[in-house]
A and B are shown apart, each in its own frame.
Chain A
Amino acid sequence: DTGVSQDPRHKITKRGQNVTFRCDPISEHNRLYWYRQTLGQGPEFLTYFQNEAQLEKSRLLSDRFSAERPKGSFSTLEIQRTEQGDSAMYLCASSPSNYGYTFGSGTRLTVV
């Protein structure tokens, strides 16, 4: 499979716990994006990497959120001290440059 891969597909966690999601982009894509989507809304931008450099972070990305792309390949998104409002679909996307994205299947997070 040469698409964007995300793991896990689903995560249920208790409020206050930390969670980490992984994204493996399409190998030749140097740009990687994280988005969050809640029911009935469009995806909202969280952060963007070009290779290993994190170039942009949304104000939605509070200090409980951190993202890394250590070698310019896969990326992780960690949420510390999860809150119920963090429940959403977390989507990763990659692109080669200024073209439309390819999204992964997403990680659906439920905070209980």
Chain B
Amino acid sequence: RKEVEQDPGPFNVPEGATVAFNCTYSNSASQSFFWYRQDCRKEPKLLMSVYSSGNEDGRFTAQLNRASQYISLLIRDSKLSDSATYLCAVPNAGNMLTFGGGTRLMVKP
């Protein structure tokens, strides 16, 4: 089992839709988690950090399920500009991040 796994997608959704991605992780001792957004041929940019049960920032909500070892990212009222790849990342004790393969989101008009 990979340390961090994501459904690669693509998720094709219409504007205004709500979409959710999951990310499973194997290390039950992990305490913090990150969601990054990556546009095509650009660097990943930090979207949200999750240190407890969840986090919310505007249209974006991240939730943590420790029992099942997954984190989710919910995007409400999708915009065309949300089209990107979303990467989840889990740090080890030395803060080295292990990334999932990313989930590609395409928001259509």
Residues of A within 8 A of B (CB): 31, 33, 40-45, 48, 55-56, 91, 95, 97-106, 108
Contact = CB atoms under 8 A, between A and B. Distances in A.
A43 B95 contact: no
Nearest 10 interchain pairs by C-beta: A42-B99, A103-B43, A100-B46, A100-B34, A42-B101, A43-B99, A98-B95, A45-B96, A105-B43, A42-B102
A59 to B, nearest CB: 13
A45 B97 contact: yes
A98 B96 CA distance: 9
Contacts of B75: none
Given A100-B34, A100-B46, A101-B46, A41 B101 contact: yes
B101 A97 contact: no
> How many residues of B sit at the interface, in one of the four size bands?
20 to 34
Given A45-B97, A55-B94, A98-B91, A105 B42 contact: yes
A91 B46 CA distance: 14
Interface in B76-109: 87, 89, 91, 94-102
Interface in B6-64: 6, 8, 32, 34, 36, 41-46, 49
Contact of B97 (A101, A104, A108): A101
30 contacts: A31-B95, A41-B101, A41-B102, A42-B4, A42-B6, A42-B87, A42-B101, A43-B87, A43-B97, A43-B99, A44-B99, A45-B97, A45-B98, A48-B94, A55-B94, A56-B94, A91-B43, A91-B44, A95-B95, A97-B95, A98-B91, A99-B49, A100-B34, A100-B46, A100-B49, A102-B46, A103-B43, A104-B43, A105-B43, A106-B43
